[in-house]
Structure formats: structure tokens, C-alpha cells
Amino acid sequence: MHNEIITIGPVTIYGYGLMIAIGIFFAYFLAEYRARKIGLDDESVFGLTIWAVVAGLIGGKVLYYITTFQEILKDPSLLLQVADGFVIYGALIGGVVGVVLYCKWKKLNPLSYFDLAVPSVALAQGFGRIGCYLAGCCYGRETDSPIGIVFHGSEYAPNGVALMPTQIISSILNFLHFAILIVFAKKYKKGEGQVAGLFFALYSAGRFFLEFLRGDAERGNVGILSTSQFIAIFMFLFGWLLFFYLGKRGQARGAKAVSIIGGADGPTSIFLAGTDPKKNGARKRQREKKLEKWKEILPAEPHTLEEVEQYLVEKWQAETLPGDCEEAVFMEQAMRTTLVLTHRPELLTVPEPAPLDRRASKKEQMAFLDQIQKRFDDAEKVSGQIPIDFRVYRIRLEKQDLQDPEDKAAAVNSHLDVQIEKDFQILQVSFQHQGEREERKMKEMVKDIYRYYGVTEEDKEEGTERFLTLVHILEEYSNE
């Protein structure tokens, strides 16, 4: 164990600081990568990291001062030793406060970003504990065990005696927590905030028992428990409560597919299911066949929503519906309701009903439909809490060359609306038509707009939402 890694002139690189830096580095890029994968704002990850790290450092230092309060009373100069002494629970609490404040400022969903952040936190902690091992802090009790480690020249741990390797055990646990959280978030998560709850429960349980092996005295105590053990009890209960409560009220994750709404006989919706809840592999095989079929056909580079807007205006002479237009108001409300149901289910007071059995009685069916209606009503009530950047572009059919009065009337009553919501990166197309010629024209427009929207090579390889949605739309219209 050697904390001084390298010295170049007056600059010395210490193992503890290096491991902390490596942990933050990997944690940041992991969070940014996962944000892009799950549809969160990856540009907010940098600000979120800065706020969480700064608030975490403050929280860790404050809790250290609290646990060493008696020593500080005897020697107030200890307050000036800013670089030494941090308590991880204080850092966690401070980091939570930092994330909440940043999300409130940026009007983001804190639960979603907690779920994004905590696997990165566990990863960073794993590297950080390696730094503790190099520095000799957070050391264990004296032991005769063969796994004991001996420090030489440490400024913190007793030198020349075998100690429990609490730093290494803690590091392994943190890396294990990281793996569990990643797998759970990807395959088993049912509600926003569940991953964060699982992290708090796992970490606090591991920390509670690990405290029995610790040998450093300056950790404070509450009765027979150390300060960390005392906090761990409440954090464990809070974590599991959060985990089960949010899992129960959350809905199973599925595709948030773009929908095409409208038709001569009334509104219809086309959704692409992106998950296989029965784990039977049928949907996966179907998706792979689609990927192979369309891989070489679709464009490689996507256009941004801003470019799509420009394309609509230039090619189709699309007009922008004013925000106070009755139809635009209706579409915005529908969009807000959809966003509440899919992106912000934690705002709903009415839980999602359990799946209805095919043998359900008429009374049970009516109760199920009533609960669905209440859920939509609740979503409409709280939809105003979601800030959105929404606009509608309307494309009308050319009618100046038409001679037949019926054709003119059909053209007047046919139009296509492109709804764009930039905050949530949603592109939605709806249309109404009168007559078969108009229907064909509308569908060609829809294909053109989505083909222009495009996909990336990464979308193709990994079968992400936008690619699968586009494949679905093009197949629907190509098979007619």
C-alpha cells in the first residue's frame, strides 16, 4: 500500500485522489451513456454531476465535523483541515440534496435522474474504497485472520499489525452493488425511483455489518452503534420502502413508441411494443427479423427535430398552428396527458390497474375500465406540472389544380399535423382525410417525414426505440 503514486517536481499524485478522480470519471461517462440509452437528457448529466459532487463533499465534511464534535471543541484548529476527514453517509445525503436542487432548477424528474445516477455512485464508491486502501484510512480491526493486511508508513492506520481489509471488502461490495443495479434497471425496474431505493437498501445493509469490522475510532457513536450504523438502519428502511412503494405504483416499462393517429373512420393509434414481458423470445426474434430486413434501407444519419421542422416548412409548406388555436390546445393537452402516463407516473394518485383476467366478470370489467378512466382523468389534472416545448405544423393538400367539386371538398377536409415536443424528443404525426386519394397522399407524407427523421448506426445495431418505431411505420404502409 503506497499512497504516493508519482512525484513530478513540486506535484505529487496520491493514490486516494487518483482513485476518486477515476471513479468520478467513469461514473460521469456511464451516466451520460445510459441517459442517451434510456431517453433522458444527457446534456444535463454534467451539471447534475457537478452539483452532486459539490453537495456531496459539503455533506461529507459537515457530517465528519458532527461526528468529531468533541475533538473540535478541544482543538478548533481541526476545522481548518479541510482536505482531511469525510463521512460517506454525509456525502450521500449531500449528493441527494444536490440532485434534487438541480432537477428542481432544470425542471427534471428527480426520481428518473436518481435511478440514472446511483449505479454510477456505486461504481465511483468502488474505486474510492481502493483509494482508501492505498491511503490506509477507513481501516479495519486487528485480526489473526489470513486475509489480514499490514500497513507500513500509513498516516492513518496502525502500522506493522494485521488489520481486517475493510477497504477491499467495501470496494468489492460496491462493485457488486453496481452490477446488481445495472441489471435491475435494465430488466426488472417497474417504477421511477426503484433503482435508487434498491441502492440505499443494499448499501446501508452492507455498511451496517461492515462497521463491525472497522477499527478507526473517529466515527462517532449513538449508544452501542456507530454513527454510520445508526444512519444505516433508517436508510435501509427508507430504501426498501421507496423500492416497494414505487415498484407497486409504477408501471412496467414498455416502448414509448411514436403513434400515428387518425383515419376516415375515426382515430386509431399504432404502437410498437418494445419489450417482451413473458420473456419467451418471440418478440425478440420478430425484432431481429425486422432489423435485418430494414438495416440497409433506412438512412444512416438522423436529422434533429429542428431540421425536421425546417424540412416540413420548406418541402411541404407546413403552417404553424398558433398556440391559442382550439385544435393545437387539444393536441397539447393530449400530449401532456400522455407524458404524465408514460414519463411521470409518480404524479398520478390513481395507480395503474392490474391486468384483467380473460375470465373476469362483467362487474370486474366495468371496474377495470372505471379505474383506467380515473387514471386518465388524474393525468389530465396534473398534466400542467410538466413543462414542454410543443408546436404543431399542419400540411394541407394542394387543391388549386383540382376541377371536381368533390375532390376540392375532400382536399379541404384533409390535412396532416406534425406534433413536435423537444424536451422529451417526441415526433408524432396525425392526419384526417376524406377519400382514398387523400388517404394515399397522407400516408406517403407520413413515410417521407419519418424516413427523413432517420436513424443512426447505433440505432440499427441495438434496436433502439426510434429505429424500431420507424421500421414499424414503414412496414405498416409498405404492406398495404
What whole-number distance in Å separates Cα of residue 101 and Cα of residue 125? 22
The phi and psi torsions of 49 (rounded to 5 degrees) equal: -65, -45
pLDDT recorded at residue 26: 93
Task: Give DSSP secondary structure letters for 17-83.
Answer: HHHHHHHHHHHHHHHHHHHHHHTS-TTHHHHHHHHHHHHHHHHHHHHHHHHTHHHHHH-GGGGG-TT
State the distance between the two ends of the chain, measured CA to CA, in whole angstroms.
70
d(CA 80, CA 322): 60
Smallest CA-to-CA distance from 344 within 305, 392, 381, 306 is with 381
Q: Are strands 4-8 and 11-14 parallel, antiparallel or unpaired?
A: antiparallel
Q: Hey, what's the torsion of the CAs at 148, 153, 157, 159, to 10 degrees?
A: 60
Look at residue 183 in the predicted model and tell me its pLDDT. Answer: 93
| 3-class secondary-structure state, position 144 | coil
pLDDT in tens, 264-300: 332 233 333 333 444 445 556 666 677 777 776 777 6
Residue spans of the chain under pLDDT 50: 251-280, 400-403
- Predicted local distance difference test score (pLDDT) of residue 237: 94
The tens digit of pLDDT for each residue in 116-127 reads 999 999 999 999
The β-bridge partners of 222 are 225
DSSP secondary structure string, 151-171? BSS-SSSPBSSEE--HHHHHH
Q: What does the pLDDT read at residue 126?
A: 93
Strand partners, 432: 415
pTM of the model: 0.52
Quick check: helix, strand or coil at residue 10? coil
Retrieve residue 141's grid coordinates. 480491526
Which contacts qualify for 443-450: CB closer than 8 Å, 24 or more apart? 443/477, 443/480, 445/316, 445/395, 445/416, 446/260, 446/416, 446/473, 446/477, 447/473, 447/474, 447/477, 449/308, 449/311, 449/312, 449/418, 450/258, 450/474
Q: Are 403 and 411 within 8 A, CB to CB?
A: no
pLDDT for residue 394:
92
pLDDT at 122: 94
Q: How far is CA 97 from the centre of its chain?
A: 18
DSSP state of 400: T
